Amino acid sequence: MEKILRLLCVIITSMLLFYSHSLNVEGRHHISKKQKSKNVSNAPSPVDVRVNEPSPPSLSPSTSSPSNVVPSDPSYGGGPALNSDDNCIFNVTENGAIGDGSTDDTDAFVAAWKAACQVESAVVLAPADRTFMITSTIFSGPCKPGLEFRVNGVLMPPEGPDCWPKEDSNKQWLVFYRLDNMTFTGTGTIEGNGEKWWELPCKPHRGPNGSTLPGPCDSPTMIRFFMSSNLVVRGLRIQNSPMFHMKFDGCEGVLIDQLSISSPKLSPNTDGIHIENTKSVGIYNSVIANGDDCISIGPGSSNVEIEAVTCGPSHGISIGSLGVHHSQACVSNITVRNAIIRDSDNGVRIKTWQGGSGSVTGLSFDTIQMENVRNCIIIDQYYCMTKDCQNETSAVCVSDISYRNIKGTYDVRSPPIHFACSDTIACTNITMSEVELLPHEGEFVDDPFCWNAYGTQQTLTIPPISCLQDGMPQESVGEAVEYTCNT
């Protein structure tokens, strides 16, 4: 009997030790406590942000992709993932934001930003069902990687020039500066309150009898990313900007996906997305309607892919303007595919000033539907904002441009195809294939315009474009001129 009792004691002790060990193992898989938002006082002093800065930083060392690869299409999982963990959320309301649409919430946003900037994969949150008003602000880095600025409510600036603080820059509103691996996203709206800016008498055709008057005309770009890399902008509604809705300057590695950008057709200078001095950009699955260029690509830009974008009303998708004030401008490797352009003044356009230098090379416009568009396909090397521009010998070289599967309807007030190239430097290696454009209303315009343009028609073009010359330009009989676009 005593032996049996001893055996039972050993068995019970072993079971208790095993159970205790199991509890210890499970205890290692704990859930971290929620980190509270931190209050940070005083906004940082404004950074003097200038356009002419050093070259943008290269892609991060961990990125092994070659420099000519644009960010992946979102359907393949490109770009940083959106943060779903709520352990590092810095809610601006916990930092003092009111969100009633009239109180200045700038300090609360700056405080949340400064706290989140120090934490990896943190989120600055502007919650839904509130309207936050903040003044011109620069959100500076460097920050810990994976930072997300998430707007689920409404974010807006002061309403018009009279309400703009005198000490603030009236050239920009939200600036994201020197950041890497950052996401700007949300289900909310960025409202620009641009109406009173559009009515300034200095704006085009706002003066008496349709004139443009002199005077102060600076208006803020709504959202500017400057000297930053590996950026994602996704899901937001952006509307009624005083000037450009979104601008990328000196950046590398940009993914833009599922944006809605809108402003009235007659709102002046309200480009949807503007890119300059920026490399490796992907713009996908977005709808843009505005009063100027839907997407504009300025000097120093390369490796840009635009796909599944709907534009209009707008001024179309533009390369340029380039070469203003005798400057040098280089743009290369731009692809636009599976796009729709409707009710616009232009379709796909290249515009350069006389007297400039540099090059535009390696452009592909593929599978684009035009609906009631003036100047569906246009190269304009005589771009000028006044009547006193003179013809000059220097020009931006335009070469290796492909137009493929461009179909739809055009506004008969202008020929659907217009190639106006420099007198001294011809446009070369233009390829036309499956281009079919018919009048939206009215009579057929069968007279496209060409000047000093050379290329190949791989299929019959509608309307026929007999003015496009074969081969390369010749200085004299039997002597071809070398036209090389140097980048």
Closest CA to 339 of 284, 377, 293: 284
Q: Is the CB of residue 290 less than 8 Å from the CB of residue 261?
A: yes
Q: Which of 293, 315, 345, 418 is catalytic?
A: 315
- As a whole number of angstroms, the distance between CA 241 and CA 221 comes to 7
Two tokens, residue 125: 């949150």
Q: Is the CB of residue 307 less than 8 Å from the CB of residue 317?
A: no
Two tokens, residue 255: 């993914």
**Whole-number Cα distances in Å, 383 to 15, 131, 202, 350, 471:** 87, 42, 21, 9, 26
Q: Which of 292, 345, 380, 411 is catalytic?
A: 292
Closest CA to 445 of 455, 437, 457: 437
What's CA 446's distance to the chain center, in Å? 36
Closest CA to 305 of 259, 250, 270, 253: 253
Q: Is the CB of residue 448 less than 8 Å from the CB of residue 415?
A: yes
- Residue 315 is among the residues annotated as catalytic for this protein: yes
**Whole-number Cα distances in Å, 356 to 323, 390, 392:** 4, 12, 9
- As a whole number of angstroms, the distance between CA 463 and CA 344 comes to 20
What's CA 323's distance to the chain center, in Å? 21
Q: Is 116 helix (H, G, I), strand (E, B) or coil?
A: helix
Paired residues of 439 in beta bridges: 410
- Residue 418 is among the residues annotated as catalytic for this protein: no
Closest CA to 113 of 142, 81, 75: 142
Two tokens, residue 233: 């902008």
Active site residues: 292, 315
